[in-house]
A and B are shown apart, each in its own frame.
Chain A
Amino acid sequence: MDFRFTEKQEALRREIAEFAKKELPPDWLSFDSFGDTTDWAFVMYLAKKLGKKGWLVRHWPKEYGGGGASAFEKLIFGDEIAYWGIPGTKMGASGTAWVGPSIILFGTEEQKAKYLPPIAEGEPDGIWCTGYSEPDAGTDLAVVKTRAARDGDDYVINGMKVWQSMAHHARWCWLLVRTHPDLPRHKGLSIIIVDMESPGITVRPIIDFRGAHMLNEIFFDDVRVPATNLVGEENGGWNVVMGALNIERTAGACTGDSKRILEELVNYAKGAQQDGKPLSKNPLVRNRLANIAVEIEAVRLLAYKIAWTETKGQISPVDASVAKVLGTESRQRLVTAGMEILGPASQLRPASKRAKLRGALIDMQFMSFIGRFGGGTNEIQRNIIAWMGLGLPKA
């Protein structure tokens, strides 16, 4: 047993820190992983630089332009990027995190040659969105209706998708469609890659209650897509989707940004006064910060344990679910406690000169709602844990 990182791993951390200090503005405190609240030109500028360093796809196999990094190293890297809040790593939602790896797992050689390099290089043509959810198909994804009908060498797509993050910047869509109208539920589904510049596609922004534009509706009106864009078997799309969902095993448990926020809160408490006393001496504040530290450490180590077992080739089916539930719910508790410490200033948006911690908790609060239902609701995750981790019966 050994809880230490290697010198090589520590060196990587230092390299990322240097990159952050060089490329980010000095007072940068923002954890916008998709880039929805960051100037897009800056996001792409960084994506290009990260691509040049091989840092967008370190976790991909070497034969596909990746660094061949293990699951464990991926987590270390992800934690450090998150700590500094470096945007530009996701290539939409998300070329680097799950679309690229899915193409590696399920795509043809032609597809790999065409789609992977722009992702790895941080090019605008490497930006992706994921077309899964529809108005009637969220948690029950298997009932998607968007239809892809075969017509000669093409599929013709009609339907709509909702909640697509970053579709307004995406060049490609990783789309879940119904290719067989008579096979029930997931049996008639396929994954197809759609060029977002195709005629017939309309992207309509959904403004969220921060006033930010991350989410979209996508309408498909007789959109023609070459049949060679199908990924995997026709009507075998569900396997591809399940494979993709499993790739981001520890994504929900990234704690680098939590660690950063804790440090910022500690510094804030040391400098701030309330009723004539430093906030840092207030037992309630000390208690809250200590609790935050406990939860961050539990999630951090859980993520490392999961990544380590994956590196050893032993994957437990519930690990991803455990990490996701604890990571997202403890994150929400962290934000609550953080705002209790910051007080009324918590309401101030980043542009306000009196905002504390650069208003970063507002975004974190907003994203914490999404965390508990996005990427598989926590209710479903708990079902999975109960069924597969404890053998409890399904209803």
Chain B
Amino acid sequence: MDLGFSEEQEMLRKASREFLEKECPKSLVQEMEKRETGYPPELWEKMSNLGWMGLVLPEAYGGVGGSFLDLVILLEEMGRALLPGPFFSTVVLGALPILTAGSEEQKQTFLPHIASGEQILTLAWTEPNVSYRAAGVTVPATPYKNDYVIQGIKLFVPYAHVADWILCVARTGNGAAPEDGITVFIVDAKSPGIAVTVMDTMAGERQCEVEFKDVRVPRDRILGQLDRGWEWMEKVLEQTAVASCVQMVGGAQRVMEMTAEYAKMRVQFGRPIGAFQVTAHRSADQLIDVEAARTIIYQAAWLISEGLPCAKEVSLAKVWANEAYWRICVEAHQTHGGIGVTEEFELGLYTWRAKAAQFAFGDSDFHREIIARQLGL
């Protein structure tokens, strides 16, 4: 067993942390909460100049040829810095599926423009029935001449309002099992019939309602095979769940640090409040949560990086991350008192994201059920 990152990965962590500390301060995150697009194009360009968008893309497609673990390093720092914008949706929700299931032609068409930072992608999955399971995919895509016609509503689509392409998980057939008959389409976001509304969510990360009204998608924009999308989408769900966990632990670590800093600084009764045991123990519990989160999440990330089966490990990690990040934020509010609930202070930014993250890519009950099945129940 070797539970450390490589030297290059540690260098990447150091460099990306320094970059984000400088380029993505709290003030920027707060400003982006209010800006319509929700992200700063200047920072996006700097990131693409660093090769971040192409980090896990093969060199043949303009990428750097890094591993999923390399991406994990970046994502953790982004979670720590609360990086606003469509990096996650473009790279994790867009590029990884195309890399997994795309034809050579599709890879050539899309990946280089992702690597260069020119194009923004996202994934439209959840529907009003809010299910993470195959049966929850009901938005139909009906064949018509050389196209398919998509009709329906998708919710919680990240950054759809600025995306160039929307990967849409649709139902093209009804087989023996709900997993049969799911197809993923790469949809031009400017297609006639697409209406995008930004949903008014608690966290600043933009999530959109996307309505498809007779939206035509050419056949060659089917990702993978017709009716067989779920086979590889399950893998994508694992990747995105772990990527989300990684962002979460980055944020959780920062909240833990912030709480300890405050406990050392805030004086009452003639001493820092961190000298009082209840407050000190609350911080200790945060450290325990973060330490435990790291390795259980990295295990899942490593398995994904190696292409090994990981369904159970992914779900174990997501449940821990879901519960731990939220617990850490809740207790952080207790230590911070009044200052922690202001808009001006940054804790609230983490708190709403921790809650949103609990729901993304499988809530705890969804993943517990996967674990139960993996246990043989």
Contacts and interface: CB of A to CB of B under 8 A. Distances in A.
A1 B287 contact: no
A355 interface: no
Nearest to B279: A392
Contacts of A72: 1
Contact of A290 (B1, B275, B276, B371): B371
A304 interface: yes
Nearest to B281: A382
Interface in A258-297: 262, 266, 269-270, 280-281, 285-287, 289-291, 293-294, 297
B291 A308 contact: no
Contacts of A304: 1, 3, 295
A81 to B, nearest CB: 19
Contacts of A113: none
Given A270-B376, A287-B368, A392-B260, A382 B320 contact: no
B296 A287 contact: no
A293 B371 contact: yes
Contacts of B293: 298
B24 interface: no
B312 to A, nearest CB: 8
Contact of A3 (B264, B277, B303, B368): B303
A65 interface: no
A11 B369 CA distance: 33
A352 to B, nearest CB: 26
A290 B274 contact: no
Given A390-B260, A392-B260, A294 B316 contact: yes
Interface string B269-313: 001101111011101110110011111101100110100000011
A97 interface: no
A25 to B, nearest CB: 26
Contacts of B3: 1, 3, 304-305, 308-309
A325 B288 contact: yes
Contact of B1 (A3, A286, A289, A297): A3
Interface residues of B, number: 51
A379 interface: yes
B289 to A, nearest CB: 9
B369 A298 contact: no
Contacts of B312: 293
A281 B377 CA distance: 7
B114 interface: no
Interface string A1-40: 1111100000000000000000000000000000000000
B246 to A, nearest CB: 13
Contact of B377 (A289, A308, A394): A289
A3 B299 contact: yes
B287 A393 contact: no
B234 interface: no
A293 to B, nearest CB: 5
Given A1-B69, A1-B298, A322 B291 contact: yes
A177 interface: no
B257 to A, nearest CB: 8
Interface string B255-267: 0100010011000
Contacts of B176: none
Contacts of B276: 395
Main secondary structure of the interface of B (DSSP, over half): helix
A72 B369 CA distance: 32
A322 B1 contact: no
A175 B369 CA distance: 51
Interface in B347-377: 365, 367-369, 371-372, 375-377
A383 interface: yes
Interface string A359-395: 0000000000000000000010111011101111111
Interface in A177-211: none
B75 to A, nearest CB: 15
A57 interface: no
A167 interface: no
A389 B275 contact: no
Contact of B2 (A2, A290, A302, A387): A2
B4 interface: yes
B274 A301 contact: no
B307 to A, nearest CB: 14
B280 A392 contact: yes
A383 B292 contact: no
A391 B287 contact: no
Nearest to A304: B1
Given A326-B292, A392-B264, A297 B377 contact: no
A299 interface: yes
B319 interface: yes
B274 A386 contact: yes
Given A294-B316, A308-B1, A326-B292, A266 B377 contact: yes
A383 B280 contact: yes
A379 B281 contact: yes
B299 to A, nearest CB: 5
A381 B302 CA distance: 31
Interface of A: 1-5, 72, 262, 266, 269-270, 280-281, 285-287, 289-291, 293-294, 297-299, 301-302, 304-305, 308-309, 312, 318, 322, 325-326, 379, 381-383, 385-387, 389-395
Given A1-B5, A286-B368, A291-B319, 12 more contacts: A1-B69, A72-B1, A286-B372, A286-B377, A290-B372, A305-B3, A382-B285, A383-B280, A392-B260, A392-B272, A393-B272, A395-B275
18 contacts: A3-B1, A5-B1, A266-B377, A280-B377, A289-B372, A290-B372, A294-B319, A297-B320, A325-B284, A382-B281, A383-B277, A385-B284, A385-B287, A389-B287, A390-B284, A392-B274, A393-B271, A395-B275
The 8 nearest A-B residue pairs measured at CB:
A290-B368, A386-B280, A286-B372, A385-B284, A392-B274, A382-B284, A290-B371, A301-B295
